[in-house]
């Protein structure tokens, strides 16, 4: 089984840091400072796509300035990594220890993801990662297709876990199972519209889901064997 995780708002509690950096960047450039909720809504997109969504009338040059200012503010605040959400770190280690394949599909840049993985001592923890600046941004499914191809895992043996509509829409477009988390950037009600397997209130529920799925597959396999013997 391949577990593909979003990063910000799913594994690490970084939503507030992203919002603060975007609002500070806008204030620095004299651009309208949008509400916390407006900025939260674009978390999960690649940075260029997020800025277009927030400021569609901004010129290309001003978007580039805002992108650079956001990056400065975020990196300055990110000298210490954000905290893990409760039970995330333990659950990741349990899944890896059980032999599952783990990957990341994130709206972060490659430089940003590498920085935080280094800070956490996890550069080699995940089997594969994909970032928005090296492929199509969410909700396009390309990064999921690339990950399953790289890891040689069939789509039906993979699941995407994320906190935003963009994660759910990406997985739906890829034809992949999906699981939401209720504690991230987007409300659970928004995630349910994409028919996820479940929306978790706590990350360790992923272990229960995996065990239930394994039990179900075992029962189905047993029924098929019985049917074959009968025939």
Just list the catalytic residues. Answer: 6, 8
158: left (phi over 0), alpha (psi -120 to 50) or beta: beta
Q: What is the DSSP letter of 179?
A: E
* Sequence-ordered alpha helix ranges (H) in 78-204: 88-97, 110-120, 142-151, 165-174, 188-192
Q: Is there a contact between 204 and 90 (Cβ–Cβ < 8 Å)?
A: yes
- Between helices 60-77 and 15-29, what is the axis angle to 10°? 130
What the block records as the tokens of 140 is 């396009």
Measuring CA to CA, which residue among 175, 103, 179, 94 is closest to residue 135? 103
Distance CA 219, CA 46 (A): 41
Beta bridge partners of 158: 2
Distance CA 55, CA 222 (A): 56
Distance CA 206, CA 199 (A): 10
């Amino acid at each position: 089984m391949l577990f593909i995780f979003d990063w910000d708002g799913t594994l690490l509690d970084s939503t507030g840091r992203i919002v603060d950096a975007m609002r500070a960047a806008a204030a620095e450039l004299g651009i309208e400072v949008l509400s916390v909720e407006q900025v939260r809504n674009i978390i999960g997109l690649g940075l260029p796509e997020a800025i277009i969504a927030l400021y569609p009338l901004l010129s290309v040059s001003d978007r580039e300035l805002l992108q650079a200012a956001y990056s400065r503010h975020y990196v300055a605040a990110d000298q210490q990594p954000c905290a893990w959400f409760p039970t995330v770190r333990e659950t990741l280690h349990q899944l890896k220890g059980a032999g599952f394949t783990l990957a990341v599909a994130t709206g972060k840049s490659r430089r940003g993801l590498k920085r935080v993985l280094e800070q956490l001592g996890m550069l080699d923890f995940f089997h594969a990662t994909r970032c928005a600046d090296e492929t199509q941004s969410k909700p396009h499914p390309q990064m999921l297709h690339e990950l399953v191809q790289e890891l040689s895992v069939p789509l039906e043996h993979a699941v995407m876990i994320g906190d935003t509509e963009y994660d759910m829409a990406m997985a739906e477009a890829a034809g992949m199972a999906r699981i939401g988390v209720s504690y991230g950037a987007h409300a659970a009600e928004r995630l349910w519209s994409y028919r996820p397997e479940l929306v978790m209130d706590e990350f360790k529920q992923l272990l229960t889901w995996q065990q239930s799925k394994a039990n179900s597959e075992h029962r189905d396999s047993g029924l098929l064997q019985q049917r074959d013997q009968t025939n």
